[in-house]
């Protein structure tokens, strides 16, 4: 791995965003059942994520620091703040705190092997080959895709789009700067070609190469809302997020994304997820891998 320049972005970034993580019991201000229902409905309306009652300690623990920051005495007061006319910025902070998803480089490696050997090997030249990481979190999936495309397609035109509902994790993704522990699943050849090793004040971190970062675009996007107009994609990754949606929300979200997948394109979900009964236009090829008819 080459060494990182000292003007690299500061900070050490780990995993984050897209769906809910482990429980955290907050201590101090009590979140009542009625107040929990308010945030439960708010999160569902904004993102389509369904919060089970067991997630009440998570909501309490994640938001308690914001109550203290604003000097508020109850979660109901905080709810009024984030839903008020002047609460747009605080609402985004709350949404960032309540949405997260564990991610790492080359997670579920069979998908990347399929992309390399079955999809890219048959890709035709001409127009850019486009891949969408639709729940990109802090960028590890999008950069894993980019490394694979750069290796196989090399100088042929290709593009990667990473989107997420959380502005906080998108900032981390754009920086391309991670703690070294995050590199353990990156193939050694990719690590040496596409990453820079931190030195001195950046020791213990690595930075995705600027040239590769320049071919990956990150954009804030709510998959539970109408999508912007975009060109069609050859492959869409929507992994490990559908498990947090109810059936109707799954159908709406998948339907929106499929409208932007070209005919014959590939759609990938997490290995713990299935699209049975969700999308009739998709043909199953392998576990968690589908093709648009």
Give yes or no: 62 in active site. Answer: yes
Average pLDDT, the chain: 89
Q: Which two tokens stand for residue 95?
A: 């949404």
Report pLDDT digits (tens) over 148-165: 999 999 889 999 999 999
Question: Has residue 268 been placed in a domain?
Answer: yes
pLDDT confidence band for 19 (50 / 70 / 90):
very low
Same domain, 142 and 92: no
Write out pLDDT tens, residues 135-144.
999 999 999 9
Of 175, 135, 144, nearest to 17 by C-alpha is 135
Look at residue 24 and tell me if it is in a domain: no
Q: Break the chain down into helix, strand, coil percent, rounded to 5.
A: 45, 20, 40
Check 62, 130, 213, 239 and give the catalytic one: 62
Residue in the block written with tokens 């920086």:
175
> Assign residue 5 a region: left if phi > 0, alpha if psi is -120 to 50, beta otherwise?
beta
Q: Where are the beta strands (DSSP E) in 92-151?
A: 129-133
- The residue to which tokens 């990473």 are assigned: 162
42: domain range?
33-98
Say what the pLDDT of residue 13 is: 37
Contact between 3 and 167 (Cβ < 8 Å):
no
Q: Give the pLDDT confidence score for residue 150 in this predicted structure.
A: 97
**What are the pLDDT digits (tens) for 207-216?**
999 999 999 9
Residues 71 and 106 in one domain: no
Say which CATH number the domain at 281 has. Answer: 3.40.50.150
Identify whether 64 is part of a domain. Answer: yes
Asked if residue 243 is part of any domain, the answer here is yes
- Specify if 251 maps to a domain: yes
Please check whether residues 112 and 183 belong to one and the same domain: yes
Backbone phi and psi for residue 161, each to the nearest 5 degrees, phi listed first: -115, 130
Q: Is the same domain home to 193 and 221?
A: yes
Q: Are residues 6 and 51 in the same domain?
A: no
Do 119 and 224 reside in the same domain of the chain? Answer: yes
70 and 192 both lie in a single domain: no
* 177 and 117 together in one domain: yes
Start-to-end CA span in the chain (Å): 42
Strand order in the sheet with 261-269: 216-220, 158-164, 129-133, 233-238, 261-269, 289-292, 282-286
Instruction: Give, as one character, the DSSP assignment of residue 19.
Output: B
Domain of 37, CATH number, reads 1.10.155.10
What is the tens place of the pLDDT at every residue in 23-42?
334 457 899 999 999 999 99
Do 136 and 242 fall within a single domain?
Answer: yes
Q: Which of 80, 98, 116 is the last residue of a domain?
A: 98
Domain tally, the chain: 2
Pairing mode, strands 205-208 and 195-197: antiparallel
Same domain, 66 and 192: no
| Catalytic, out of 96, 164, 209, 234 | 164
Question: Is residue 21 pLDDT above 50, yes or no?
Answer: no
Q: Would residue 164 show up in a list of annotated catalytic residues for this protein?
A: yes
């Amino acid at each position: 791995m080459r060494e990182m320049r000292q003007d690299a972005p500061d900070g050490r970034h780990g995993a984050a965003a897209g769906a809910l993580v482990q429980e955290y019991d907050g201590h101090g201000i009590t979140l009542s059942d009625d107040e929990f229902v308010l945030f439960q409905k708010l999160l569902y309306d904004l993102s389509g994520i369904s919060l089970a009652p067991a997630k009440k300690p998570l909501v309490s623990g994640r938001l308690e620091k914001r109550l203290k920051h604003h000097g508020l005495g109850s979660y109901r007061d905080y709810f009024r703040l984030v839903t008020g006319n002047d609460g747009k910025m605080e609402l985004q902070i709350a949404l960032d705190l309540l949405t997260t998803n564990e991610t790492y480089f080359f997670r579920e490696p069979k998908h990347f092997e399929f992309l390399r050997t079955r999809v890219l090997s048959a890709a035709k030249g001409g127009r850019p080959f486009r891949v969408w990481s639709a729940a990109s979190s802090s960028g590890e999936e999008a950069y894993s895709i980019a490394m694979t495309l750069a290796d196989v397609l090399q100088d042929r035109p290709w593009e990667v789009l990473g989107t997420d509902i959380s502005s906080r994790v998108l900032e981390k993704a754009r920086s391309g700067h991670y703690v070294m522990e995050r590199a353990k699943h990156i193939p050694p050849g990719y690590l040496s070609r596409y990453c820079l090793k931190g030195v001195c004040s950046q020791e213990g971190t690595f930075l995705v190469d600027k040239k590769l970062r320049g071919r990956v675009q990150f954009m804030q996007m709510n998959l539970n809302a109408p999508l912007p107009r975009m060109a069609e994609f050859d492959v869409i990754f929507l992994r490990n997020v559908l498990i947090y949606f109810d059936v109707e929300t799954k159908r709406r979200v998948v339907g929106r994304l499929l409208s932007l997948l070209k005919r014959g394109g590939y759609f990938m979900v997490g290995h713990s997820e299935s699209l049975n009964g969700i999308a009739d236009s998709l043909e199953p090829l392998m576990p968690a891998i589908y093709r648009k008819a």
